[in-house]
Structure 1
Amino acid sequence: MIRRYLNADGRLRLDDRPGDAIDGIVWFDLLSPTAEEAAGLEAKLGVDLPTREEMEEIEVSSRLYYEDGAAFMTATLPAQADRDNPLMAPVTFVLAADRLVTIRYHEPRAFQTFPMRAEKVAMGCTNGEVVLVALLEAIVDRIADILERAGRDIDGISHDVFQHKEVMRTTSRNFQAVLEAIGRKGDLISNIRDSLVTLERLIGFLGQATTHRKSDKDIRSRVKTLARDARSLTDHASFLSQKITFLLDASLGMINIEQNAIIKIFSVAAVAFLPPTLIASVYGMNFHFMPELEWPWGYPLAILLMVISAALPLWYFWRRGWL
């Protein structure tokens, strides 16, 4: 499918004209294009559009290059990022003369929100270069929103890990759920960091392209701002990644503490019941000549000895602060 957007006094308007005329069109948005659609647009613009396999190449030379006077830039962008497992796929931006061509096989949120906003607000979308910069700004804003939401979720996980002792006594913490949540957030942040790395490379390449094309000073300034924003988001993603690592280590430490507490209870119980067991074993022997067998108060005395022998270790452990 190909969406065509016209320049309407600095706004974007979806082209609904019949036929294949390209006059006034500043942005061709290709969503899962067929071979026929791609070939037809290539013939009109005079450029060779990359295939899906070429878009997925990881070499920088395959993602950022000039060909036939057009600049080709590919970045990995997230879609369906409201979940912890976003769909990550490459998106190619082709700046050919005064037109922008985007090729994608998934639906990043910015490609839905940006055209609607550009249709209502005059953003100066008079050519493909301005559209590209404004679209990249929307993409960076979307990634910032994803990181902000992830940061709030990580703060919630931190509260679950380090919740107050009073809460710990009344609730049973499910550390398996906590570890699963940490793992999901770790995967999300890792994907976003990978996306930001490709965006930083793309924006750096775009900065060189705007200099080569002798673009307006305003465009070059906005590209520099984009580069700073992407770099700051990368730093924030690194901070969140370090926090996730800390929470993982802390959760494992909490699990060890609780396991040690359980083992301590069993150890104390074993020590406390060892003397009563010894007394019961002694008087459970069936020898005929045992002086205590003839005592009228032998049985109550044995019970009393077992209680005292169990209470004394417990009292000692309590005084030492081990309980």
Structure 2
Amino acid sequence: MIQNQSDQPLACGHADKRLQASGWLRLWARQGEQLAGAQREHGLDLSPGRGRAAIEEGDFIVIPVEMVIRAADQYLETTVVFALGKHVLISVEQDVRLGALDQASEQLLETLEAGGTLDPMAMMFTLLEALNDSAHAAIREISARLDEHSEAVAAASGGFEMSKCQAGVADIASTAIALGEAEELVAKAVEGQLMLARAGRWLRRFTSDARLQQSLPTLLSDIHSLRRYARFQHDKIRNLQQSLMTTLDIKQNQVIKVFTVITAVFTPPTLVGAFYGQNFAYMPELQLPWGEWIVMLLTGLFALVPLAYIKRKGWMR
């Protein structure tokens, strides 16, 4: 289930000073004073309401990336706004501290400790890789949950649960709600991969580093592969929903069929009972010694004739 990012507490902390000295300024949306100072210093708009478009502002390209992440046993929708410049990279996380960026920070620190050098382009590449890995983990877990829903759909389609009770509309409705939530999650994940790919293309356009130029096609290929995988999961959800709706239609038709058969069986006896409920002055069969039993026998026969006809036509299956 998607939770709005404002429902989550803001994680405290500051970007590592060594990474900040290397050119990465890591901020959060609720760090109003620091965020406002960075916007004034660089002449940028990094507010959450700036929109979803990637815009060139001065010497920067501002790129929002929406993500679906797994945190505290629930899925969260959040946004990271990147401002990529020649000498500084600014990232603004919307209230949620992303574990993917924490892992990227550790990786970048290891590079610095090993005597390597970093620039905003290289750090942006590492962050995009980490976000793509995080999206992969989220989609993989959603896929695992879809397998559980597939079993529920199969049980409903089979008609009987393990308890030998027929799967009813309530059971199907709960599964349909879960599939609807999963569809929304996967759709958001697909959209997030498109935004990651856009960020990668802007990075390829912006950088002049030969090593990054060689590595970026591989990253973009991974991002697009994950997007195709997410779309496959989305199609899988659609197929499950279609199967579930078909099962629901079949069950509704079965209910209607049962009532139709009952109506067909009891209509002749009802007519007979209605006939003998009339106040006629003379009814000769009442004078017969076995008149009552004859009427009862004929009534039962009239009830069995339509039942035999329905069974012969195969409508009872």
TM tier, smaller:
0.7 to 0.9
How far apart are the structure 2 equivalents of 1:255 and 1:40?
58
**Equivalent of residue 273 in structure 2, options 280, 285, 307:** 280
How far apart are the structure 2 equivalents of 1:281 and 1:34?
82
How far apart are the structure 1 equivalents of 2:278 and 2:114?
97
How far apart are the structure 2 equivalents of 1:178 and 1:123?
51
Structure 2 counterparts to residues 12-91 of structure 1, below 5 A:
24-32=21-29, 34-38=31-35, 40-41=37-38, 47-53=42-48, 56-60=50-54, 62=55, 65=56, 67-68=58-59, 70-80=60-70, 86-91=76-81
Aligned-residue sequence identity (percent) comes to 24
How far apart are the structure 1 equivalents of 2:295 and 2:107?
87
How far apart are the structure 1 equivalents of 2:77 and 2:189?
11
Change (3 A) 1:81 1:232: farther
Q: Which runs of 5+ in 2 are unaligned?
A: 1-11
Q: Residue in 1 aligned with 2:231?
A: 238
How far apart are the structure 2 equivalents of 1:266 and 1:237?
44
Contact 1:140 1:230 in 2 (8 A): yes
Shift of 1:206: 0.6
Q: Residue in 2 aligned with 1:180?
A: 177
Contact 2:68 2:185 in 1 (8 A): no
Q: Residue in 2 aligned with 1:126?
A: 117
Q: Residue in 2 aligned with 1:250?
A: 243
Q: Residue in 2 aligned with 1:101?
A: 90
Q: Which runs of 5+ in 1 are unaligned?
A: 13-21
The yes-or-no answer on 1:138 pairing with 2:135 is no
Structure 2 counterparts to residues 121-270 of structure 1, below 5 A:
126-127=117-118, 128-163=120-155, 165=158, 167=160, 170-173=165-168, 174-210=171-207, 214-217=208-211, 219-270=212-263
Q: Residue in 2 aligned with 1:15?
A: none
How far apart are the structure 1 equivalents of 2:110 and 2:292?
94
Q: Residue in 1 aligned with 2:8?
A: none
Contact 2:53 2:64 in 1 (8 A): no
Contact 1:2 1:30 in 2 (8 A): no
Change (3 A) 1:71 1:280: closer
Change (3 A) 1:81 1:246: farther
Change (3 A) 1:251 1:33: closer
Change (3 A) 1:84 1:41: closer
How far apart are the structure 1 equivalents of 2:73 and 2:114?
31
Change (3 A) 1:156 1:35: closer
Structure 2 counterparts to residues 295-314 of structure 1, below 5 A:
295-314=288-307
How far apart are the structure 1 equivalents of 2:160 and 2:114?
52
Shift of 1:320: 2.5
Change (3 A) 1:268 1:123: farther
Normalising by the residue count of structure 2, what TM-score does the alignment of the two structures yield? 0.80
SS at structure 1 position matched to 2:222? helix
Shift of 1:288: 3.3
Shift of 1:268: 0.8
Contact 1:28 1:100 in 2 (8 A): yes
Change (3 A) 1:307 1:248: same
Change (3 A) 1:248 1:125: farther
User: Which amino acid in the other structure matches residue 257 of structure 1?
Assistant: I
How far apart are the structure 2 equivalents of 1:321 and 1:160?
29
